[in-house]
Every structure is written in C-alpha cells, then in structure tokens.
Amino acid sequence: MSIPANLKYTKDHEWVNLEGDIATVGITHFAQKELGDIVYVEVETLDQTLEKDEVFGTVEAVKTVSDLFLPLSGEIIEFNTGLEDAPELVNSDPYGAGWMIKIKVSDLAEFDTLLTAEGYKELIGA
C-alpha cells in the first residue's frame, strides 16, 4: 500500500501536501480502497473559509457516501474539476490526479499536528 513519506496525514484518511501556505488535499490509498469504486466527489465549499475538521465535501462510492474533513483551517481556493468527469481518478491515482482541493492555509502551525507517514502506517496497521 502506498503511503508517500513526503505527505502528512489525518486520522480521517486525508493526505496533505503543503507548499508555502497552499495545501493540496486528497484521500489516501487506504481510504479509496476501503470505499471501493468512487462514482462522485462533491465539494460545495469552494471560496469558503472553514476551520480544521469541518466537513468540506463528500465522496460517493458504489456502496456508501463519506464526509470529507478539512485537515487544516483556511480558504478552499480550488477544486479538482477533473473529478467531475472522472471521479475514478481518486481510485487510480489518489496522490496525483485524484487530488480534491487546494486550501490557502490560515494557521500553518496546524500542519505540524498532522500524522507523518510512519504515524499513519501505525494508525491503519500497515
């Protein structure tokens, strides 16, 4: 199972890549595998400022719908529109083309509270 060492992770199975004050967010390989075939990703919070752990959208799989939780406080500045026509990218490339949102982070200190790859491996028993 792929758990890139250069990313940070949440207990809710999101990954975060921080560049400056912009964070790219998606769900982990583990999460997409648990959900199964992704058929729809909904993010209605574009251009909104939310607090860490607030729901920013949902991901719908064949068998279930799951909330997506914001890993860092900030403004959601971009949604991966490629997921509108190809939500299966979350399954096939969760750390690349399957990213979901970009956030302009308002509190960079929150990044340090996220799990490292090693911490995430422990969480999922990998």
DSSP letters for the chain:
----TTSEE-TTSEEEEEETTEEEEEE-HHHHHHH-SEEEEE---TT-EE-TT-EEEEEEESS-EEEEE-SS-EEEEEE-THHHH-TTHHHH-TTTTT--EEEEES-GGGGGGSBPHHHHHHHHT-
Q: Give the residue extent of every domain in the chain.
A: 8-108
- 126 residues of the chain, pLDDT tens digit each: 789 999 999 999 999 999 999 999 999 999 999 999 999 999 999 999 999 999 999 999 998 999 999 999 999 999 999 999 999 999 999 999 999 999 999 999 999 999 999 999 999 998
Quote the pTM value: 0.95
Q: Which CATH architecture has domain 8-108?
A: Beta Barrel (2.40)
